[in-house]
């Protein structure tokens, strides 16, 4: 599976595109994400970043192109199968199970790998064994004391942390994070950045992020999208010095949330 | 508190036939089971099945047919009816479950109308006249249950079993995934599950429980009619569930009781019964979103929270 001749890419997009009606939200996007790296996807609002994530995880069917995960073409798979192969995303709008407790939220994800989710006659105590791991994950994201709270009652920052814990529960090799710090106050951004740094060990991460200081702290390389297309790719110093990026980005970043 | 309430409910159910007409009570119990089946879908998976009566009615005919034409014992006949409905439920689910909201409701409605038509045209159902003279075979092949009071306790026991089954499903590893699907289906899929498989199974379980209610009903009345398959019954179970309180185990039970008693009281006024139902449904939707049980629960929780907060004098953590 691993590419032995060149660098080892965890994820590749080969000319992916998505057409809504006559409008191309994403067009001919190529990505190559080296295994173990943190790759940022930036660009003004409406540039097609979330759509890219939807294509990569097969939430949307690409109009063109191929997606290669660990050397395997996953273009024809569905989202759940992509997740089973080790690529899991978080959502721009916190995707939590609002009416369930914090612990239950994580346990749902743990059940995915556990494979007993169809046991409709077993008591819930039959999966209590998962609680230990769920608590570890919650402790990792700083939610150790919130396990019995209803997810809907968490603060915004804690909801994002919960979503990351839920994503981590699948122990994904590739994690796609869609604006993990969006709408957060400064006091929340720093811990989340630390958290992403921590969980990046042994994983490949693609992150959509508007906060450029977070981008510069975390990412090895950056792809800049504009109007659905790749404007450029490079390291933070390269990208931030580029005239086109400055021009494109200054127009959109302030009203990005 | 909860255990006390359950014990009180059980005690009330045990002595009820000495104060209330047992057949009315048994009707309520059949609809308690029926509403529980519906609530499993709408309350715990978020699926609005607008054809739940097909599972009730089909099973009533199947149970009736078995009792009339074979020597099988009562519980076998009812379970067979439930099984046939569960199979139908899986099939309807297979077709409908990828759609959501109003589309899902419309597809289930269409199926129900189709089942109605088939049963109307089938020979064994007796068509417009319904299936008459269904005997009440012995329970387990040995216990005579022809006495109404005895049979009430049998039906009560069956109701308890059906509710325990629903409770087991809701509080199972599988039930946890169902709730997650209700809360956020795309997220469930993104975590590696195939939501439609869970929904198809839920349809089948729900249909099976509805079928169980239908079999009970056929045995209680000794006949099965097309009314049990009709869209008005599909609508009534929605009313029961919303009135009692969606997504709580006890809500639909209370709702079923209220609606059946109301129908019984209003029967003498003919069409007015329907109008009263409509008005109540509108009032519930406007003012009691959580239903009778849901509102009562919220009321007690608020009171508890206030009692807890007051002495400590500290405001709830604001985040
Ligand atoms: N399902 C959809 N149907 C039609 N247009 C869409 C859809 N999803 C996104 N778009 C459009 O595609 C463009 C890119 O959106 P998006 O990927 O959400 O941008 P970003 O995440 O970079 O802000 C926007 O113009 C948006 O309106
Ligand atoms: Mg976006």
Tens digits of pLDDT across chain B (319 residues)? 778 888 888 888 788 787 878 888 999 999 999 999 999 999 888 898 999 999 999 999 999 999 989 888 899 999 999 999 999 999 999 999 888 778 888 999 999 999 999 998 888 877 777 788 888 776 676 777 678 888 899 999 999 999 999 999 999 999 999 999 999 999 999 999 999 999 999 999 999 999 999 999 999 998 889 889 988 889 889 888 888 888 788 888 888 888 888 888 877 777 777 787 788 778 877 777 787 788 888 888 788 777 766 554 444 443 3
CB nearest to B177's CB, from A91, A108, A154 = A108
Residues A75-87: tens digit of each pLDDT: 999 999 999 999 9
Q: What mean pLDDT do residues A7-21 have?
A: 90
- Tell me, yes or no, whether A125 and A74 share the same domain: no
Is residue B222 a contact partner of residue B136, using CB atoms and an 8 Å limit?
A: yes
Reported as a single tens digit per residue, the pLDDT across B135-169 is 877 667 677 767 888 889 999 999 999 999 999 99
Domain of A27, CATH number, reads 3.40.50.300
Nearest to B107 by CA among B99, B116, B118: B99
* 3-state secondary structure (DSSP) of residue B143: strand
pLDDT at B95: 92
Q: Ligand 1 atom 2: the closest Cα is on which residue?
A: A20
What does the pLDDT average to over A212-232?
91
Closest CA to B96 of B110, B83, B82, B84: B110
Tell me: do A67 and A193 sit in the same domain: yes
Closest CB to A83: pick one of B168, B192, B201. Answer: B192
Tell me, what DSSP letter sits at residue B191? T
Kindly state whether residues A185 and A207 are assigned to the same domain: yes
DSSP string, chain A: ---SSS--EEEEEEEEEEEETTEEEEEEEEEEEETT-EEEEE-STTSSHHHHHHHHTTSS--SEEEEEETTEE-TTS-HHHHHHTTEEE--SS----TTSBHHHHHHHHHHHHHT-TT-TTS-GGGGTHHHHHHHHHHHHTT-GGGTTSBGGGS-HHHHHHHHHHHHHTT--SEEEEE-TTTT--HHHHHHHHHHHHHHTTTSEEEEE-S-HHHHHHH-SEEEEEETTEEEEEE-HHHHHH-HHHHHHHHHHSTT--
Question: Do A230 and A201 lie in a common domain?
Answer: yes
Q: Which of A96, A118, A166 sits opposite B174 (nearest CB)?
A: A118
Query: Are residue A176 and residue A166 in the same domain, yes or no?
Result: no
Q: How far, in Å, CA of B196 to CA of B92, rounded?
A: 12
Provide the pLDDT confidence category of residue A30 given band limits of 50, 70 and 90.
very high
Asked if residue A12 and residue A139 are part of one domain, the reply reads no
Q: What angle do CA B268, B270, B275 make, to 5 degrees?
A: 120
- How does pLDDT run across A161-177, given as a tens digit for each residue? 899 999 999 999 999 99
* DSSP 8-state secondary structure symbol assigned to residue B182: H
3-state secondary structure B23-89: HHHHHHHHHHHHHHHHHHHHCCCCCCCCCCHHHHHHHHHHHHHHHHHCCCCHHHHHHHHHHHHHHHH
3-state SS record for B109-133: HHHHHHHHHHHHHCCCCCHHHCECC
**The two three-digit tokens of residue B261, written as one number:** 């008693």
Total of domains in chain A: 2
Find the domain containing A225 and state its range: 1-86+172-257
Measure A62 CA to ligand 1 centroid, in angstroms.
13
Residues A179 and A161 in one domain: no
CB-based contact (8 Å) between A131 and chain B? Answer: no
Same domain for A166 and A212?
no
Q: Which of A170, A202, A234 is the last residue of a domain?
A: A170
Show which of A170, A200, A225 is a domain's final residue.
A170
Asked if the structure places residue A91 within a domain, the reply is no
Burial class (CB in 10 A: 0-12, 13-18, 19+), B123: exposed
Whether A32 is covered by a domain: the verdict is: yes
B54: Cβ contacts below 8 Å, ≥ 6 apart? B85, B88, B92, B111, B112, B115, B116, B229, B234
Q: For residues B138 and A142, what is the distance between their CA atoms, to the nearest angstrom?
A: 61
Q: Are residues A189 and A127 in the same domain?
A: no
Torsion angles phi and psi, residue B32, rounded to 5? -60, -45
Q: Are residues A78 and A180 in the same domain?
A: yes
* SS3 category, B139: strand
- Evaluate: CB of A252 within 6 angstroms of ligand 1: no
Query: Domain boundary residue among A122, A143, A170?
Result: A170
The set of residues, in sequence order, having a beta carbon less than 8 Å from that of B93 and lying 6+ positions away, is B199, B200, B201, B202, B203, B204
User: Per-residue pLDDT for A56 more than 90?
Assistant: yes
Q: Is the pLDDT of residue A254 over 60?
A: no
Number of Cβ pairs closer than 8 Å across A and B?
Answer: 108
Taking the domains of chain B in order of start, what are their residue ranges? 21-240
CB contact at 8 A, A15 and A64: yes
| Domain-embedded: residue A79 | yes
- Calpha distance B75→B223 (Å, rounded): 17
Strand arrangement, sheet containing A204-208: A87-89, A174-178, A204-208, A38-42, A221-226, A229-234
Find the A29 Cα to ligand 1 centroid distance in Å. 15
Contacts with A108 from chain B: Cβ below 8 Å: 176-177, 180, 188, 191
pLDDT at position A245: 81
Contact (CB, 8 A) for A78 and A122: no
| Residue A163 to residue A169: CA distance in whole angstroms | 10
pLDDT category at A250 given cuts 50, 70, 90 is low
**Probe residue for ligand 1, chosen from A40, A42, A48, A231 as the CB with the greatest number of ligand atoms within 8 Å:** A48
A103 and A82 share a domain? no
- Judge if A185 and A244 occupy the same domain: yes
Task: State which H helix or E strand residue B7 sits in.
Answer: helix B2-15
Phi, psi of A148 (to 5 degrees): -95, -5
What residue's CA is closest to ligand 1, atom 3? A20
Dihedral, B39, B44, B50, B52 alpha carbons, nearest 10: -50
**With contact defined as beta carbons under 8 Å apart, do B276 and B262 qualify?**
yes
Cβ-based neighbours of B130, under 8 Å, separated by 6 or more: B223, B224, B225, B226
Q: Are B258 and B292 in contact (CB under 8 A)?
A: yes
* Helix intervals (H) in B97-230: 101-121, 148-170, 173-183, 185-190, 195-221
Atom of ligand 1 nearest to the CA of A53: 17
Please classify residue A48 by burial: count the beta carbons closer than 10 Å to its beta carbon, then call 0-12 exposed, 13-18 middle and 19+ buried: buried
Is A166 at the interface with chain B, CB within 8 A? yes
């Amino acid at each position: 599976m691993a590419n032995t001749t060149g660098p080892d890419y965890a994820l590749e997009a080969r000319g992916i595109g998505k057409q809504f009606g006559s409008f191309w939200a994403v067009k001919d996007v190529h990505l190559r994400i080296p295994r173990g790296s943190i790759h940022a996807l930036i660009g003004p609002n409406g540039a097609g970043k979330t759509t890219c994530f939807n294509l990569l995880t097969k939430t949307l069917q690409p109009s063109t192109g191929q997606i290669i995960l660990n050397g395997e073409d996953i273009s024809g798979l569905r989202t759940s199968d992509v997740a089973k192969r080790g690529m899991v995303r978080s959502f721009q709008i916190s995707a939590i199970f609002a009416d369930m407790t914090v612990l239950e939220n994580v346990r749902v994800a743990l059940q995915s790998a556990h494979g007993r989710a169809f046991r409709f006659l077993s008591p819930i105590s039959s999966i209590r064994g998962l609680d230990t791991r769920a608590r570890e994950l919650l402790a990792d994201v700083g939610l150790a004391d919130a396990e019995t709270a209803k997810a809907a009652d968490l603060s915004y920052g804690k909801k994002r942390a919960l979503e990351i814990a839920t994503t981590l529960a699948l122990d994904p090799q590739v994690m796609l994070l869609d604006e993990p710090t969006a709408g957060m106050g400064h006091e929340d951004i720093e811990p989340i950045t630390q958290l992403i740094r921590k969980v990046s060990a042994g994983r490949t991460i693609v992150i959509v992020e508007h906060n450029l200081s977070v981008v510069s702290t975390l990412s090895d390389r950056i792809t800049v999208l504009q109007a659905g297309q790749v404007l450029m790719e490079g390291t933070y110093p390269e990208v931030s010095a580029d005239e086109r990026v400055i021009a494109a980005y200054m127009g959109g970043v302030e009203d990005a949330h | 508190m909860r255990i006390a309430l359950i014990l009180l409910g059980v005690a009330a159910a045990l002595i009820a036939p000495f104060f209330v007409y047992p057949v009315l009570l048994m009707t309520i119990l059949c609809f308690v089971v029926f509403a529980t089946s519906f609530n499993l879908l709408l309350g715990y998976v978020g699926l609005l099945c607008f054809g739940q009566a097909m599972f009730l009615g089909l099973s009533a005919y199947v149970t009736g047919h078995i009792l009339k034409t074979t020597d099988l014992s009562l519980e076998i006949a009812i379970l067979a009816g439930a099984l046939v409905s569960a199979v139908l439920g899986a099939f309807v689910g297979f077709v409908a479950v990828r759609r959501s909201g109003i589309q899902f409701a419309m597809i289930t409605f269409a199926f129900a109308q189709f089942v109605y038509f088939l049963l109307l045209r089938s020979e064994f159902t007796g068509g417009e006249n319904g299936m008459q003279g269904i005997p009440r075979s012995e329970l387990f092949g040995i216990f005579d249950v022809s006495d109404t009071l005895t049979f009430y306790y049998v039906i009560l026991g069956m109701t308890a079993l059906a509710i325990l089954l629903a409770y087991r499903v809701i509080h199972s590893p599988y039930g946890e995934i169902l709730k997650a699907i209700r809360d956020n289906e795309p997220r469930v899929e993104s975590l590696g599950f195939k939501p439609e498989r869970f929904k198809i199974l839920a349809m089948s379980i729900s249909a099976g429980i509805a079928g169980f209610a239908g079999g009970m009903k056929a045995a209680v009345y000794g006949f099965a009619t097309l009314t049990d398959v009709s869209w008005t019954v599909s609508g009534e179970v929605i009313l029961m569930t919303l009135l009692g309180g969606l997504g709580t185990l006890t809500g639909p039970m209370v709702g079923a009781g209220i609606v059946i008693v109301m129908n019984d009281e209003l029967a003498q006024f003919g069409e007015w019964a329907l109008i009263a139902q409509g008005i109540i449904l509108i009032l519930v939707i406007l003012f009691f979103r959580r239903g009778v049980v849901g509102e009562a629960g919220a009321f007690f929780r608020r009171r508890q929270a206030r009692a807890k907060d007051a002495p400590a004098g500290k405001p709830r953590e604001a985040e």
